[in-house]
Amino acid sequence: MEQNQEYETISMPRIGDAAPEFKAVTTQGDINFPADYKGSWVILFSHPADFTPVCTSEFMTFASMEDKFNEANCKLVGLSIDGLYSHIAWLRTIKEKIEYKGMKNIEVTFPLIEDISMNVAKKYGMIQPNEDTTKAVRAVFFIDPKGIIRTMIYYPLSLGRNFDELYRVIIALQAADEFDVATPADWRPGDDVIVGPAGSCGTAQDRMQDDDIDCKDWFFCTKKLDKDMVLNRILKKKLVAEV
């Protein structure tokens, strides 16, 4: 016999929305989000549960890349609906016992939020009832220095995240903002970027004749953007944010 299941309806945040605010206890002390991270980019991500293998591989990878994200002016904040003491015990186990892809003795120093009430998970749409009602899916939110959600990625419980892509996204978002461009498929620093569509026939004609812009047609124009210039500009912004 079929049973009707009723789930609480919660509006999910959208790209361009202000990141929902919350205060929480974490493995690195209390935080007031996103106010504590003003001036920095943030990756807020959820995982289903402590002491699970996929999540363990992800936390080790995030921790091993933390310096790389920090250099791009990006802070990491994790979340699951487990308790603080479970978090602490799990992270200690990772450091003391787990080796994965050559990584070992990995210490997780970014905050991991305790969310037993699921208050934060619900605010961010991390609980997907058709996937699981008691575990958060693998959600990733890219939040800019003004506290605005710029990108969201959701993965099911069974699928580990691609960390090269997460890093690529944080760099691409900053490059697009800094140089007023768009990034094409599979863009990496050093690749050509997309010049925005022309707003008039005259502008389109000028672009077709501009030696610095490669136009295949009036609507599809690219230009070169030096890799070192992109990365140095992003690094400079990180240093300014720290002053």
Strand partners, 114: 80
Q: Is the peptide bond before 34 cis (omega within 30 degrees of 0)?
A: yes
Q: Is the dihedral of CA 163, 143, 220, 211 positive or negative?
A: negative
Residue 163 to residue 53: CA distance in whole angstroms = 16
Residue 124 to residue 51: CA distance in whole angstroms = 23
Q: Is 55 labeled as catalytic in the residue annotation? A: yes
The token pair that represents 52 in the structure block: 């699970």
From the candidates 55, 74, 215, 221, which is the catalytic residue? 55
Closest CA to 165 of 144, 192, 145, 183: 183
First to last CA, the chain: 64
The token pair that represents 165 in the structure block: 């892509």
Using DSSP bridges, classify how beta strands 193-195 and 220-223 pair: parallel, antiparallel or unpaired.
antiparallel
List, by residue number, the catalytic residues.
Answer: 55
